[in-house]
Structure 1
Amino acid sequence: MGETLKPRDEKDLVEAVRWAISEDHPLEVIGQGSKRDLGRPVQAGHVLDLSAISGVETYEPAELVLTVRAGTPIAEVERLVEEHGQELAFEPMDYGPLLGREPGLGTIGGVVGANLSGPKRLKHGAARDHILGLQAVSGRGEVFKAGGKVVKNVTGYDLPRALCGSWGTLALATSVTFKVLPRAQTEATVLLPGLSDAEAVRSMTRAMGSSAEVSAAAHLPREAAEKIGVDGFDGTKDATLLRLEGFGPSVDYRFDALRKLFGDAIAAERLEADVSRALWRAVRDCLPFAGDDAPVWRVSLAPTAGPAFVADLSRVLAFEAFYDWSGGLVWLRLKDGDPQAEALREGVKRAGGGHATLVRASHAVRTSVPVFEPQPKPLAGLSRRLKQQFDPSGILNPGRMASGL
């Protein structure tokens, strides 16, 4: 078993990376390990633990700007901004429960590495859309800065976007500056019961295109709804969910507008704030599929293609599914223990294309199956050149995204 390096600050981190380069020792990079079992197993003998590089550097609520070190737990940041009536509007997912770990272990570095988002991505985007700037250490052992600490900043190249979703294979953020947004005074969820997948997507699309300012839209077929585990939510029927946020009178008005939009054809029900928040956290963290080790896929495609994709795939595979992002994100839990990667990705192609990520599987499966969507040759070549620029020695999380990268 290799050594675990735990730098206390950026200086220590630079020394650790330079040592790894000089000794040709690849490093597996972790925060608190909440996503350690997501992606290909890292081909490294030593662990680089960034959890000690933690804490808030600056927080200016009046300016909606927060700078925080990479090892800081997301849960700690969310509590801080909530105390000031604000939020991380991209609603970062917590992968811990789905991967068999405790909730609340994710860190800010993981937010950047995985480009996290939740159901409100429809309205507010993902993590990369909220990063104003960052400071990081490259695989060359060099410190660099990108962006700044103000909302309107156009200094230099948009490196934060390049690093978001790179899973720690290019550089290691040491501090990140986010824009934060005011938290809604209240929320409610419009529940449309008993719709088929196709009817649900049509209804979600209709609601998203209305003036009701829906901030999230999801559909839980009954098999997933039964497992949601939220008090006050009846999971005995297929459930289509539309979230409304804002001031109380505004939420009331928009609920009535949606009820009129659907008319007597669909009996819209209302879930109040406490139930609504718990329900959307469960959707965000894919809790219907937590609690076992069956393979789980995360498939992103055109929203209107979701129901046809699921129907087509059900002819050859046994699985459970539910929809987020108004149908554009489909979560799948395969029932027979085999990830069926080839069949699933062929189904994605037949649906018009998209991205399929194997989120949960055994170590052996993740070694042999492409976990992330294989890239076309031109894009794969670009990824290799980017890796060569940031990490020419290949010491940062080698093999996590693709074999040999």
Structure 2
Amino acid sequence: MRPGTETELAELLQAARAPLAVRGGGTRGVALTGEALETGGLSGVRLYEPGALTLVVAAGTPLAEVEALLAQKGQRLAFEPMDHRALLGTGGEPTIGGVVAANVSGPRRVQVGACRDHLLGVRFVTGAGEVVSNGGRVMKNVTGYDLVKLMAGSWGTLGVLTEVSLKVLARPQAEATLIRSGQGAEAAVAQMCRAMGTPYDVSGAGWVGGTTQLRLEGLAGSVAYRASALAEALGGGWDLVEGDDSAALWRALRDVAPFVGQPGAVWKLSVKPTEAPGLLARLAGAGVEHEVLLDWSGGLIWLRVPEAEDAGAARIRGEIARIGGHATLIRAGEALRATVPMFQPRPAPVARLEAGLRAKFDPRGLLNPGLMEGA
């Protein structure tokens, strides 16, 4: 099914009697139950005001089209959403609605926030076929819920997005990355956290293959000054990568390029940055073999582990439950998917709250059933 208008989508959902698998571009490799409900027919720019830094676009619009439109005016989506296709071996075209539904956010999150922080408004159709609008360009409000934030990261389980309103930002004149090789995870996290605490406006802090990288963006003169000052503040020993070469480093980290084409399951862990080194050491001590990339100053951990038994799920999620955070199984084969849930199991009170929200917005349990239940 591929509705072409919001009204058609609402009528379709009102008439539905069986589970539906909501999908945008189908690039995230998630196994869903039910007949496919594609949003690609809901496409096109509704409003773009570069001077007001505002974009309103239909949810099924390809992300590439959105980014190309913004680039014409020297603007961008500052949260730099990841492209999952190479890592997961999927096809299709990522859609802006899919980005919002999964709250996809890249390395710049440490400076500007996540996708949800750039959402001004949403329109969507609930599982009962009701059209709801919240936030910017409001036509109908549902009192008591911040639906703009609620829909970001709901993975299509509360409603099918039809339109999103976004804050966009100017593309900087220049960027540069300080890199320092030969650091272990503990030293890298210490340096990254220290860098984020300086006044030099760091927009990315990651660790790839033993190399720490710190990004700065803005006017060319400002970037040059801040890069020099930051390197001195961190004790020297840093090299500088600029322009396109710098951008390539962050695309590779954003899209987890070192894991592309490599065997094994891939986990995405969210923790407090200072917890990362100890967590990695404990996993290694427990026999969980892994390759690791760090983003968000260590707050985002990408792990590639052998896809044997539970791919370390019990140990990984046990550690996460103890220290706080989330462990999401991003890439796995069918057998592993059948036994290990994608999302971190929630504490009972949170699970009850989420179940209540799903019952409110999708009372018949039609939309991506089981995807987040029990998580």
TM more than 0.5: yes
Aligned to 1:231: none
Aligned to 1:296: 266
Aligned residue runs from structure 1 range 39-188, under 5 A: 41-44=31-34, 46-102=35-91, 105-149=93-137, 157-188=145-176
C-alpha deviations, 1:45-67, integer Å up to 9, x for none? Answer: x1101111111111000111000
Aligned to 1:243: 215
TM-superposed deviation, 1:43: 2.5
C-alpha deviations, 1:150-205, integer Å up to 9, x for none? Answer: 9xx99974201111111000011101100111111110000011111111111111
TM-superposed deviation, 1:149: 4.3
- Does the aligned pair in 1 maintain the 2:176–2:246 contact within 8 Å? yes
2:93 aligns to what SS in structure 1?
Answer: coil
- Does the aligned pair in 1 maintain the 2:355–2:373 contact within 8 Å? no
Amino acid at match of 1:26: P
1:385 aligns with 2:356: yes
Aligned to 1:25: 18
1:201 aligns to what SS in structure 2?
Answer: helix
- Does the aligned pair in 2 maintain the 1:190–1:255 contact within 8 Å? yes
| Closer/same/farther in 2, CA of residues 139 and 12 from structure 1, 3 Å limit | same
Q: Equivalents in 2 of 1:388, 1:182: separation in Å?
A: 40
The match for 1:356 among 309, 323, 327 is 327
Unaligned ranges ≥5, structure 2: none
Runs (4+) off by over 4 Å: 153-156
The match for 2:254 among 275, 284, 294 is 284
Aligned to 1:320: 291
TM-superposed deviation, 1:364: 2.5
Amino acid at match of 2:330: V
C-alpha deviations, 1:136-160, integer Å up to 9, x for none? Answer: 100010101101149xx99974201
Aligned to 2:276: 306
Amino acid at match of 1:207: A
TM-superposed deviation, 1:260: 1.1
Q: Equivalents in 2 of 1:372, 1:17: separation in Å?
A: 26
| Closer/same/farther in 2, CA of residues 154 and 256 from structure 1, 3 Å limit | farther
Amino acid at match of 1:295: A
Aligned to 1:226: none
1:263 aligns to what SS in structure 2?
Answer: coil
| Closer/same/farther in 2, CA of residues 213 and 329 from structure 1, 3 Å limit | same
Q: Equivalents in 1 of 2:136, 2:324: separation in Å?
A: 36
| Closer/same/farther in 2, CA of residues 300 and 50 from structure 1, 3 Å limit | same
C-alpha deviations, 1:337-389, integer Å up to 9, x for none? Answer: 44221011123245x22110000011232122121010111110001110010
- Does the aligned pair in 1 maintain the 2:269–2:326 contact within 8 Å? yes
Q: Among all aligned residue pairs of Structure 1 and Structure 2, give the percentage whose two residues are the same amino acid.
A: 48
Unaligned ranges ≥5, structure 1: 222-237
The match for 1:258 among 199, 222, 230 is 230
Amino acid at match of 2:273: P
The match for 2:303 among 327, 332, 351 is 332
1:9 aligns with 2:34: no
1:203 aligns with 2:174: no
Amino acid at match of 1:347: E
The match for 2:244 among 269, 274, 282 is 274
Amino acid at match of 1:244: L
Q: Give the aligned length.
A: 371
2:153 aligns to what SS in structure 1?
Answer: coil
| Closer/same/farther in 2, CA of residues 293 and 398 from structure 1, 3 Å limit | farther
